[in-house]
Structure 1
Amino acid sequence: MHRARDRRLAAAVSIGAAAFWLGAQPALAAPKELPLALRCAELAGAVLPPELIALPTAGALIESANMVGATAPGNQQGGEYCRITGRIKALNATTPDIRFDLNLPRRWNGRALQIGGGGYNGVVVSGTGVMPFSPDRAPLAQGYATFGDDSGHVGDSSLAVFGLVDEAVTNFGYAHLKKTHDAALALIARAYGRPPQRMYFAGGSTGGREGYTVMQRYPDDYDGVIANSPALNFSGVRLLGLKLGQAEYGTPGGFIPPLLLEHVYQRTLAVCDKLDGAADGIVSDVAACREHEAEIIASLRCAGHTPARDECLTDPQLATLLVMRDGLSLPYKLAWDVGGYRGYNLFQGTHLTGMLGLAHQAERLPVPTFFANGYLFAQGDGYIRYFVAHDAEFDSLRFDPQHPGKYRAQLVALSQTIGAMNPDLSRYIAHGGKLITLQGLADEVISPNQTIAYYEALNERFGGDQVNSFMRLYMVPGFQHGSGVFIPSVDLLGALDAWVTRGMAPETLTATDIAPATNGRSRPLCRYPLFPRYAGKGSVNLASSFVCAQP
């Protein structure tokens, strides 16, 4: 079932034991004969040859390798581990290295977990902490060897300047995943004397896209993937963000002040909160709420008078919201026959006044920022400037996504390099790989409807039974992009491992709310298309009071 992966890992073991790892140093004892502390120390300064990594590189350098004691300050893992930092050298001297961290627990469970990044990456994923929206015990503390990287450039997740460097763009799109995987597995094999029995990937947003990317491009390398809120259609969401910014800042009166956005949200709650049987601040029955959308919009539209700023929506303001609701349709195709981007559940409980919502100020900054000008527009602006136009001074408000002219070929090429919309997961399915995806139905950054569309494309391609054999999709009411009125905490890694190793396919799970205002309440985590409906009795704060219902 895993012959291709096992052959590659066996090669990593034999190569990893070769003397050239440590240059001219004496021959080493077999890893199993040495305690982890000695094996860890031996790795410091090691050079990994390019042949060890399947994609072209100039090799890798281990910059540090030190044991972290169980009682060391800041160690919350419950045990000692070897912490390794290194960098994978690019072919072009002007391309930034891929910096990576690898953590090897003394009590290893025989499994490895690669962890994805977020936004435009640029910061090394340490792999030492708790996974987002998961219980308190970190994977490293559970015995997983963990690793992550910065995707091949330095900067916070909002910076797209590296888009000017072609090799850095390729690394960000997909290559860093394979390069870091191969380097880390060689190091794991060297330290423990054997490769991992199971190899997993977990990430959200950009990390979710990375999870789908490894299944599509490197299906033999992974046994299981957790890919939450995945930025699958990366080019599509950037182009939609640009169009949204044009509606806000390129159209007179298109800006919507936060007080009015709050009024829109409260109106949707007033109409839709109780449709699932419980007045709990969560719009759970999104399908039923959508049937009331025309009524909600009509009640929000200004009618023949000069409105107060937070009273009703003018036509230009409503047009801005409809851009986000309707999504983007293109008269040409991106990679994998993608023709646009699906819209958001804007009038079904999505809150647009948070850090990642729409713009908070009426003036566009020269370099848009998340809070001032909206996350979607800020990210789309950087994408057009650096990835598409290769011009830091380019005015993104003048760019027409529907008619990109000379930039069309670049847009299509980028969607191939960075996007993860290829529905062909046949090799991943064939070798028994499993997939869990969780996303909020109120997500304001990655459209939940785009994720659902990809899931439906898989069903159309492979049939429901085969998709059911390898994938679970959980769409969470009230959950946004890391925030929301319901923020689920659930052990997806445990569920994935049980599925891969013991054949225990997850069904309905129970999620605990970690939103500050409602911390501790619980809800069933229903498989899509089901949603939690109040059963009519019992506390609305307990999952046992809800059933998973058909919309």
Structure 2
Amino acid sequence: MTRRERVARITTTMRTTGRLVGLATVMSVAALAWLAMHRTAAIAKQTPFAMHCAEFAGMWLSPDLIEMPTAGALVETAAMVEASAPGNQQGGEYCRITGRIKALNPTTPDIRFDLNLPRRWNGRALQIGGGGYDGVIVSGIGVMPFSPDRAPLAQGYATFGDDSGHVGDSSLAQFGLVDEAVTNFGYAHLKKTHDVALALIARAYGGPPQRMYFAGGSTGGREGYTVMQRFPDDYDGVIANSPSLNFSGVRLIGVKLGQAEYGRPGGFVPPALLERVYQRTLEVCDRLDGTADGIVSDVEACRAHESQIIDSLRCALHTSSHDACLTDAQMATLLVMRDGLSLPYRLAWDVSGYRGYNVFQGTRLTGALGLAHQPQRQAALSFYANGYLFAQGDGYLRFFVARDAHFDSLTFDPQRPGKYRAQLLGLSATIGSMNPDLSRYIAHGGKLLTLQGLADEVISPNQTIAYHHALVARNGQDAVDRFMRLYMVPGFQHGNGAFIPSVDLLGALDAWVTRGVAPETLTATDLAAATNGRSRPLCRYPTFPRYVGKGNVNLASSFICAQP
């Protein structure tokens, strides 16, 4: 069912029966119908914010209103947040709604959601994605990551998000033992929350949003690609940054990396040596873009020097270890990350592995999301002690794949999964977003912006680039250019890095969707503490910022977007 058909159905139901959107208080169907009909008839005579916010509280939404199977939804709280309320920095008052979407199985956690309805509505709605394994409600109140200071809600967007159907922080994978929760996390929560929010927005304002957008990064980026692939008619535009498209792949390479660090004698690489690798790449590659600015911008040129960099970092054959060089075992660990994962079998959408990372092209692996900081595997893995990729991969393997909390991920062979192969294949279809068929989304005019760091240490930038190539192979370059912009950012990691871009992607997306103004080169301001305020052009892939040889190196105007 298209969004137009769904909205028509919602509106018709509101006017006639009161059955699908009804108050949980004890009222007759006739009374509900009278209330809905008269409230709808009065909309044209009222301001866009047509209902008193408190009347949403206790509202029950029938399962018939939600296209995917649920046991209905309940609005738990609804309260106006005044413009002068402490902590309200949104520039105006809004109605804050919280609720939950009931699972079919009573033992499955509900999907908890938040919806914010601004009094000054701009006619648009924005669904916001989560991160990691989700588990925390996305409030939709604040500023979008790596965007200017004004939040979407303050700009008049109705905003909403959810917890994907389980409770816990982004590192907890225990919900992988529950089938319905896995399906919700993979894709179903997105549609369920969308349909509930759409009904409530239409009820509040008397009509549907003129535009429906989605925005997210990492897991939220995967969710952005998921809605285009699975629910293409529901969205007009998507921002999907640093997307974990190949979710099973990135978890499996995390396990393989942990095995290299802890399953082989001498495989652990101390942070001091990881920093040495990073500094060596800067020594060789920083100036390849025309200036020494602490950023490796010309990644492809740097890749041509990779052998030289690796040779300069290796310890001599007769040296077992040294403070300033890497042993063969330590180098092998880094090469696991560089080379990625190749599988002798296929996951969903013909996926045969996971692309490697830019380990020797300016990626810093010493941060909180980098490689392990402790030489021993902890009893309970943590991101910092044992590395983000390994900790997340270990949880995925134990709870999603083996479904055994005591399973030892160091004994698992991703190339030969044995009895777990079918489970891996099923999970890659449920959670992964590698389907290159976006034809329906493209056909109705949907737009896509993706931004990712070339130095990302969590989601391989080369995996994102490979998916882009798959889109071009399937649809042709012209078709992809008409609906997508890919910005690969030098120096940017997974939320940190030598360059942390701030740019108004939502404004660019809205201008493209509503006015046909296709974004080209954008300008990003650096949020990194040491270099805060400098600017660089955001160049469309495959181009990169090259210094023109004169002018202030802290200004984007001193750079051009050059071909590699």
TM range (shorter): over 0.9
Distance 2:134 2:217 in 1: 12
Report matched runs for 1:306-385 at 5 Å. 306=319, 309-385=322-398
Deviations 1:146-190 (A, max 9, x none): 000000000000000000000000000000000000000000000
Is residue 510 from structure 1 mapped to residue 519 from structure 2 by the alignment?
no
Secondary structure at 2:88's aligned position in 1?
coil
Match of 1:121 among 103, 112, 134: 134
Deviations 1:519-549 (A, max 9, x none): 0000000000000000000011000000000
Does structure 1 retain, via aligned residues, the 8 Å contact 2:321–2:327? Answer: no
Aligned to 2:113: 100
Deviations 1:327-365 (A, max 9, x none): 000000000000000000000000000000000000101
Distance 2:558 2:72 in 1: 56
Does structure 2 retain, via aligned residues, the 8 Å contact 1:259–1:309? Answer: no
Is residue 277 from structure 1 mapped to residue 290 from structure 2 by the alignment?
yes
Deviations 1:97-152 (A, max 9, x none): 00000000000000000000000000000000000000000000000000000000
Secondary structure at 1:226's aligned position in 2?
strand
Aligned to 1:5: 3
Deviation of the 1:389 alpha carbon: 0.4
| Equivalent position amino acid for 2:269 in 1 | I
Deviation of the 1:7 alpha carbon: 1.2
Distance 1:238 1:310 in 2: 31
Aligned to 2:23: 22
Deviation of the 1:310 alpha carbon: 3.0
| Equivalent position amino acid for 2:270 in 1 | P
Query: TM-score under structure 1 normalisation?
Result: 0.98
Aligned to 1:243: 256
Ranges in structure 2 where 5+ consecutive residues have no aligned partner: none
Distance 2:10 2:318 in 1: 72
> In terms of mean alpha carbon deviation, does 410-419 or 17-26 score higher?
17-26
Deviation of the 1:309 alpha carbon: 4.8
Does structure 1 retain, via aligned residues, the 8 Å contact 2:95–2:116? Answer: yes
| Equivalent position amino acid for 2:203 in 1 | R
Match of 1:165 among 145, 166, 178: 178
Distance 1:400 1:12 in 2: 50
% identity of equivalent residues: 79
Secondary structure at 1:330's aligned position in 2?
strand
Aligned to 1:427: 440
Query: Structure 1 residues 309 and 13, CA, compared in 2 at 3 Å: closer, same or farther?
Result: farther
Secondary structure at 1:256's aligned position in 2?
coil
Aligned to 2:555: 542
Distance 2:199 2:483 in 1: 28
| Equivalent position amino acid for 1:19 in 2 | G
Report matched runs for 1:450-529 at 5 Å. 450-529=463-542
Distance 2:50 2:266 in 1: 64
Does structure 2 retain, via aligned residues, the 8 Å contact 1:16–1:189? Answer: no
Secondary structure at 2:76's aligned position in 1?
strand
Deviation of the 1:15 alpha carbon: 2.9
| Equivalent position amino acid for 2:18 in 1 | A
| Equivalent position amino acid for 1:74 in 2 | G
Aligned to 2:281: 268
Does structure 1 retain, via aligned residues, the 8 Å contact 2:50–2:206? Answer: no
> In terms of mean alpha carbon deviation, does 108-117 or 23-32 score higher?
23-32
Deviation of the 1:13 alpha carbon: 2.5
| Equivalent position amino acid for 1:86 in 2 | G
Deviations 1:189-222 (A, max 9, x none): 0000000000000000000000000000000000
Secondary structure at 1:95's aligned position in 2?
coil
Deviation of the 1:308 alpha carbon: 5.6
Deviation of the 1:4 alpha carbon: 2.5
Does structure 2 retain, via aligned residues, the 8 Å contact 1:118–1:204? Answer: yes
Does structure 2 retain, via aligned residues, the 8 Å contact 1:16–1:187? Answer: no
Is residue 407 from structure 1 mapped to residue 408 from structure 2 by the alignment?
no
Distance 2:115 2:14 in 1: 16
Match of 1:138 among 123, 145, 151: 151
Does structure 1 retain, via aligned residues, the 8 Å contact 2:315–2:322? Answer: no
Distance 2:440 2:413 in 1: 38
Query: Structure 1 residues 475 and 361, CA, compared in 2 at 3 Å: closer, same or farther?
Result: same
Query: Structure 1 residues 407 and 308, CA, compared in 2 at 3 Å: closer, same or farther?
Result: closer
Secondary structure at 1:141's aligned position in 2?
helix
Does structure 2 retain, via aligned residues, the 8 Å contact 1:13–1:195? Answer: no
Secondary structure at 1:30's aligned position in 2?
helix
Distance 1:513 1:438 in 2: 14
Report matched runs for 1:74-113 at 5 Å. 74-113=87-126
Is residue 62 from structure 1 mapped to residue 75 from structure 2 by the alignment?
yes
Does structure 2 retain, via aligned residues, the 8 Å contact 1:113–1:200? Answer: yes
Deviation of the 1:8 alpha carbon: 1.1
Aligned to 1:177: 190
| Equivalent position amino acid for 1:400 in 2 | D
Distance 2:132 2:13 in 1: 35
Task: Number of aligned residue pairs: give it.
Answer: 549
Deviation of the 1:9 alpha carbon: 1.5
Does structure 2 retain, via aligned residues, the 8 Å contact 1:12–1:185? Answer: no
Deviations 1:380-437 (A, max 9, x none): 0000000000000000000100000000000000000000000000000000000000
Does structure 2 retain, via aligned residues, the 8 Å contact 1:37–1:67? Answer: no
Distance 1:275 1:516 in 2: 24
Query: Structure 1 residues 310 and 10, CA, compared in 2 at 3 Å: closer, same or farther?
Result: farther
Secondary structure at 1:310's aligned position in 2?
coil
Report matched runs for 1:216-227 at 5 Å. 216-227=229-240
Ranges in structure 1 where 5+ consecutive residues have no aligned partner: none
Secondary structure at 1:57's aligned position in 2?
coil
Distance 2:92 2:422 in 1: 52
Secondary structure at 2:155's aligned position in 1?
coil
Deviations 1:38-70 (A, max 9, x none): 431111000000000000000000000110000
Secondary structure at 1:439's aligned position in 2?
strand
Does structure 2 retain, via aligned residues, the 8 Å contact 1:37–1:82? Answer: no
Deviation of the 1:242 alpha carbon: 0.3
Deviation of the 1:495 alpha carbon: 0.2
Query: TM-score under structure 2 normalisation?
Result: 0.96
Secondary structure at 1:467's aligned position in 2?
helix
Secondary structure at 1:71's aligned position in 2?
coil
Does structure 2 retain, via aligned residues, the 8 Å contact 1:282–1:477? Answer: yes
Deviation of the 1:37 alpha carbon: 7.9
Report matched runs for 1:436-455 at 5 Å. 436-455=449-468
Does structure 1 retain, via aligned residues, the 8 Å contact 2:120–2:156? Answer: yes
Deviation of the 1:307 alpha carbon: 5.9
Distance 2:477 2:324 in 1: 46
Deviation of the 1:473 alpha carbon: 0.1
What is the alpha-carbon root mean square deviation over aligned residues? 1.2
